[in-house]
Amino acid sequence: MRFQRAEKLAKDYLEETSDVLGVDQYIADKKRALSERNAKKFGCYVLDVGHRDVSLHEIKMLGLPIEEGVNLAVAAAHEEGKEFGANSTGAAQQQNFKAQYQRYIFDFFKESDEEGETGDPGGHTEKIDLPNIGKTGNAKKNRHSLNYFAVSFGSSIELEYDVVEDGDRSQRLNVTLNSGDAFVTNSLVKSISYRVKKTTDVKQQHLVIREGCLLLQAERD
């Protein structure tokens, strides 16, 4: 596994499809979707970890602190709701169960240098849809599972999310992730798309990456 330029991955896919016959349609559709996704990324290097590699212990461990943190936040919100007389059956008390993520995507975005010597706008994307998130239901009623998270390392990154929740409530969220921050959704979210607006040159005190931003996304597929 290695990082490759997003533009190269998209170009390689187009060249491969002209030579390959008899490929399983499901696999071909997945490859095409990933290629279309990579074509919308600029100033970006991609490492895609698919079905065959998600069993790696190191990959499985990535989401544990995020899942634990989400449930601690939910428990704290439930306690606060009880203090102020909120309905005890509300969503605040719902535990989020561990998701079985089928895909991890590591995107390394170059940081912006628009005001510097190069004038490089840095890593960014066009709007990218994640069509499979929210399509699988839960086996038990009111049992929420996490279906997507994004966590950043390095420079701060600005994202825009369009989210549709259960009941067709739509929201546009502008999110800035500093190094170590995460954006998480659960199975109440039925549709989601995102856009990387800008990879800044703003760095936190405790750096894990010298420059640029590594954005890790895990999703149900």
From CA 106, how far away is CA 108, in angstroms rounded?
A: 7
Which structural domain range is residue 112 located in? Answer: 4-219
Residue 162 has pLDDT above 50, yes or no: yes
Residue 138 has pLDDT above 60, yes or no: no
Q: Confidence class of residue 144 from pLDDT cuts 50, 70 and 90?
A: confident
Q: Confidence class of residue 108 from pLDDT cuts 50, 70 and 90?
A: very high
Single-letter amino acid code for the residue at 126: E
pLDDT at 72: 86
pLDDT at 2: 79
Q: Confidence class of residue 127 from pLDDT cuts 50, 70 and 90?
A: very high
The tens digit of pLDDT for each residue in 172-215 reads 999 999 998 999 988 888 889 999 999 998 887 666 677 899 99
pLDDT at 198: 94
Residue 130 has pLDDT above 50, yes or no: yes
Single-letter amino acid code for the residue at 9: L
Give the mean model confidence (pLDDT) for residues 148-165. Answer: 93
> Tokens at residue 44, please?
């970006």
- Tally: H helices and E strands in the chain: 4, 13
Q: Percent of the chain having pLDDT more than 70?
A: 75
Q: Confidence class of residue 47 from pLDDT cuts 50, 70 and 90?
A: confident
Give the mean model confidence (pLDDT) for residues 18-39. Answer: 73
Dihedral (CA of 162, 47, 54, 34) sign = positive
Give the lowest-confidence range in 44-58, 115-129, 178-192: 44-58
Mean pLDDT of the chain: 79
Give the mean model confidence (pLDDT) for residues 53-81. Answer: 75
**Structurally, how many domains does the chain consist of?**
1
pLDDT at 188: 85
| Contact of 112 with 120, CB cutoff 8 Å | yes
From CA 136, how far away is CA 73, in angstroms rounded?
A: 24
**pTM of the complete model:** 0.81
| Contact of 97 with 186, CB cutoff 8 Å | no
